[in-house]
Amino acid sequence: MDECQSAIPAHDGDLHVVAAAHHIVKALGTTKNLSDDLRKILIDLDAHLSLITSNIDSKGGKGFVEVEERLKRVERKIVIWESDRIMIWDSGPKEASDYLEAVDEVQTLIDSLRGLSMNENQKQKELLHRASSLLQMAMSRLEEELIHMLVKHKQQSEPTYIPSPSSQRNVVYNESVVSLDNESAKEASSKNSCSDECGEYIVDLVPEHVIPDIKSIAKVMFASDYGQEFCEAFIGVRKEALEQHFDILENGKLSIEDLLKMEWCSLSTEMNKWTWSMKIIFGVYLMSEKRLCDQVLGEFGSVNSFCFLEIAKTTILCLLNFGEAIAMGPQEPEKLLRLLDMYETLADLVIDIDALFSEDGGSFVRLEFHKLLEGLADSVKAAFNAFGVAVSSNGSLYPFPGGGVHPLSKYVMNYISMFPEYCSTLNLLFEDQHSDVASLVSEPQCGPTASLSTSCPMACHLRSITSSLESNLHKKSKLYKDEALQHIFLMNNLHYMVQKVKGSELRPFFGDEWIRKHNAKFQQHEMNYERVTWSSVVLLLKDDNPGSSSLSKSAFKEKCKGFSIAFEEVYKNQTSWCIPDPQLREDLRISTSLKVVHAYRTFLGRNPAHVDDKCIKHTVEDVEKLLLDLFEGSPRSLRNSRRMMKT
């Protein structure tokens, strides 16, 4: 305020000018609808002019009278609130604006007094101290008001709608591939993908109408050089609020050591929570927090981003460290889907993170999350490889009873049927290792004629998994001593694979060619089964002398007996075998029936003379009926009925 020093007039004439100017300023000051800035200028001008006037009036002696008067007036306005227990902003807008006006006045007086500080006037010094004390009192009060305001309105700012984690991709596979031998795998319940359900929500962390009040406090505190106090108070409350929101999301406060030791089931839950928390904290709260900071601190430059970072940092570090712990953990196959969720979530958020922390101070946060994203990408790849290894190395000591669908097939097929949902991510991650796998999977789909979906990296990886599964199943089939059962086992499992591919999102990635080829494979096993089981049985009924019209009685009897024994043997064995798919079971029975019943009927029809109840143990109808008992998975025997017939 040097200009007012130099502007102190020397002549009486000037005095009139000053008085006139003062008058005009006062008159202008009463005008309503002035902008804040203009009003401030007028108040400043008013103060300067009165100082000049009082200086001239006093002629050195009883100077500062008017300043002191004004100080006293404003002191009353400020001190009166000190004994009051009600918050100013709770009392009403009038009280608040009066108070702010008073603080402005104090600041103006201080500025003016400082401007005149050359005189070393004792009175002036005293007034300056009084004004500074008053300012401190007011600033302290404003800080309290700010905190009170922020805390009071914090509770009401819960977002009205936050989708719950239960609507997320649900947890389907928590068991591990290692533990599932001879245990039925859970069928995958189909899940509703809802990756877009949580877009960016910006919520009012503080109700809209409170923002101008907070801003008015910020303005006056910054103007009085109390910006640091404002920031600390603001950061303190907002930081705590954010941490409370974080706590509500129930993130366990776990050390890396704990996480590395954690059981898979609990870990899976924690991973889900993290994915969820990331979406909520970054997508909702930090976005909203950033907007709040912009609204309140937007005009104060770098303070804005500094405060935002301080508010966010500890919460962010918590999320970051969990991610790091997961990325460094052993990548077991069962983690794959959870890892994919984590990766996708972070990949979606990375742009937001870059935008939120675009300033220099936040580069640290940006960098860390980009690093984490890379780490998670590596983890996904490692888990996928581990999955492949687990599929091909899953070993069994004993044959799977009944030759039905092996749990490994169920596990693998259900598990990979989740992958199409992550198609674009997996394609991105597999891009660099694509050519290796594509050459490994010697399927025509990977050739140049293949369509886009069957030749994408994920498709090739999926088929490499299923071909590992196939070779493992072949290994497992060798555990059966009965060759026919080997075929039943392979037929069942290949059929299951084809069905799973056909009935799921997997279909476009495997393609019709794959389906055709694998249909042919299981049908081959079906035929092989029939050959191995029934050819020798049917052979027993074959006419040894095609020339003659009919067999001798004893030869007929012999053939009948042989057939019965062989049939009963098959019956005894194969009723305990299992074809879980009703359609497949039906088909196999029909074709068996066609072959066996037909041969039996022809055999009996060729020898009508010998057909009597005594030597024929089973009628054609019996055989037809008994064949229906096969592959039901419940062992039966015909020994009882045979004994009955003999007696």
Partner 1 sequence: MPATDYQASFLGRISIRRNQVIAMDGNHEQELQDLELFSKHVSERFAELLSSPDDVPFDALLSISWLRKLLDFFLCCEAEFKGILMMGNDPSQISKPPLDRLIPEFLDRSVKALDVCNAVTNGLESVRHYQKLAEIVVSALEQKPIGDGQSRRAKKALTSLISAMNVDDKECSAAKATERSWSFSRRGVSSKDRVPEHFRSVSNHVAKNWSAAKQIQAMTNNLVPPRGAEGSGLASPVYTMSVIMVFVMWALVAAIPCQERNGLSAIHFPAPKQLNWAQSIIGLHEKIGEEWKKKEKKGTAGLLDEMQKMEKLGNILMGFTDSFQFHGDITDQKAEEAAAHAAELAEPCRRMEEGLLPLQMQIREVFHRIVKTRTELLNALDQVGKSSPPLL
Q: What is the DSSP string of 243-279?
A: HHHHHHTT-----HHHHHH--HHHHHHHHHHHHHHHI
Q: How far apart are CA 86 and CA 344, in angstroms?
A: 50
Q: Which is nearer to partner 1, 119 or 133 (CB)?
A: 133
Min dist CB 371 to partner 1, Å, is: 7
Nearer to partner 1, 361 or 388 (CB): 361
Q: Considering the complex, what minimum distance in angstroms separates the CB of residue 454 from partner 1?
A: 33
Q: Per CB under 8 A, which of residues 144..203 are in contact with partner 1?
A: 144, 147-148, 150-152
**Is 257 an interacting residue with respect to partner 1 (CB under 8 A)?**
yes
In the window 369-398, what residues touch partner 1 (CB under 8 A)? 371
In whole angstroms, what is the distance from residue 187 CA to residue 173 CA? 9
Burial 46-56 (b: 16+ CB within 10 A, else e): bbbbbbbbbbb
What residues from 477 to 506 belong to the interface with partner 1 (CB under 8 A)?
Answer: none
Q: Where are the alpha helices (DSSP H) in 394-455?
A: 407-416, 423-430, 434-440, 452-455
Q: How many CB atoms lie within 10 A of CB 529?
A: 25
Q: Could you say whether residue 324 binds partner 1 (CB under 8 A)?
A: yes
Cα 263 to the chain's mean position, in Å?
20
The least distance separating partner 1 from the CB of residue 257, rounded to whole angstroms, comes to 5
For partner 1, the closer of residues 128 and 217 by Cβ is 128
* CB distance 157 to 207 below 8 Å: yes
Which amino acid does the sequence have at 409? S
Q: Which of 31, 190, 193, 255 binds partner 1 (CB under 8 A)?
A: 255
CA 205/CA 235 separation, integer angstroms: 14
Residue spans of alpha helices (H) in 503-608: 507-540, 553-574, 582-606
CB-facing half-sphere around the CA of 78: CA atoms within 13 A:
27
Judged by CB under 8 A, the chain residues 28 through 47 that form the site for partner 1 are none
- For partner 1, the binding residue among 22, 313, 475, 595 (CB under 8 A) is 313
CB of 133 to partner 1, least distance (A): 4
Task: Verify binding: residue 225, partner 1, rule CB under 8 A.
Answer: yes
Contact (CB, 8 A) for 313 and 238? no
> CB 150 → partner 1: shortest distance, Å?
8
Which of 498, 501, 405, 470 lies closest to 180 in space, CA to CA?
405
Our finding on whether 286 is near partner 1 (CB under 8 A) is no
Residues between 338 and 367 with contacts to partner 1, criterion CB under 8 A = 361, 364
Instruction: Please state the closest distance from residue 76 (CB atom) to partner 1, in A.
Output: 16
Q: Does 273 bind partner 1 (CB under 8 A)?
A: no
With respect to partner 1, which residue has the nearer C-beta, 372 or 578? 372
Shortest Å, Cβ 131 to partner 1 = 8
- By CB under 8 A, tell whether 240 contacts partner 1: yes
- How would you label 152-183 residue by residue, b for 16+ Cβ within 10 Å and e otherwise? ebbeebeeeebeebeebbeebbebebeebbee
Q: Please identify, using beta-carbon distances, which residue of 221 and 337 lies nearer to partner 1.
A: 221
Q: How far is the CB of 180 from partner 1 (least distance, A)?
A: 23
Rounded to a whole number of angstroms, the minimum distance from the CB of residue 112 to partner 1 is 16
* Span of 322-330, 350-358, 419-427, 513-521 interacting with partner 1 by CB under 8 A: 322-330
Q: Looking only at Cα atoms, what is the longest distance across the chain?
A: 157
Residue 279, Cβ neighbours under 10 Å: how many? 24
Nearer to partner 1, 230 or 567 (CB): 230
The answer to whether residue 1 forms part of the interface with partner 1 (CB under 8 A) is: no
Q: Which of 318, 349, 469, 501 binds partner 1 (CB under 8 A)?
A: 318
Q: Does 59 bind partner 1 (CB under 8 A)?
A: no
Q: Shortest approach of partner 1 to residue 355 CB, angstroms?
A: 21
Q: By C-beta, is 310 or 587 nearer to partner 1?
A: 310
Per-residue tokens: 623: 């055989």
| Cβ atoms of residues 55 and 111 within 8 Å | no
Residue 232 found at the interface with partner 1 (CB under 8 A): yes
Using DSSP's 3-state secondary structure scheme, residue 614 falls into coil
Minimum distance from residue 207 beta carbon to partner 1 (Å)? 16
d(CA 352, CA 431): 25
CB closer to partner 1, 233 vs 596: 233
Q: Which residues pair with 632 in a beta bridge?
A: 578
Q: Which tokens in the block code for residue 209?
A: 């109408």
Phi, psi of 632 (to 5 degrees): -90, -5
3-class state of residue 354 by DSSP: helix
Smallest distance from the beta carbon of 137 to partner 1, in angstroms?
8
Structure-block tokens of residue 219: 């303005």
Q: Which positions from 66 to 95 touch partner 1 by CB under 8 A, shown as an x/- string?
A: ----------------xxxxxx--------
| Cβ 587 to partner 1 shortest distance, Å | 44
Cβ closest to partner 1, residue 330 vs residue 395: 330
* Per rule CB under 8 A, count of chain residues that contact partner 1: 59
The answer to whether 74 and 105 are in contact (CB under 8 A) is yes
**415 SS3 class:** helix
Among 98, 111, 181, 243, binds partner 1 (CB under 8 A): 243
Side-chain-facing half-sphere of 496: CA atoms under 13 Å = 26
For the chain, what percentages of helix, strand and coil (3-state, to nearest 5) are there?
Answer: 75, 0, 25
Binding mask 108-147 for partner 1 (x = CB under 8 A): -----------------x--xx-xxxxxxx-xx--xx--x
Six-digit token string for 385? 């490889």
Name the 3-class secondary structure at 332: coil
Q: 123 or 313: whose CB is closer to partner 1?
A: 313
DSSP H/E element including 482: none
Tokens of 184: 């039925």
- Binding residues for partner 1, rule: CB under 8 A, are 82-87, 125, 128-129, 131-137, 139-140, 143-144, 147-148, 150-152, 225, 228-229, 231-233, 235-237, 239-240, 243, 252-258, 260, 310, 313-315, 317-318, 321, 324, 328, 330, 361, 364, 368, 371
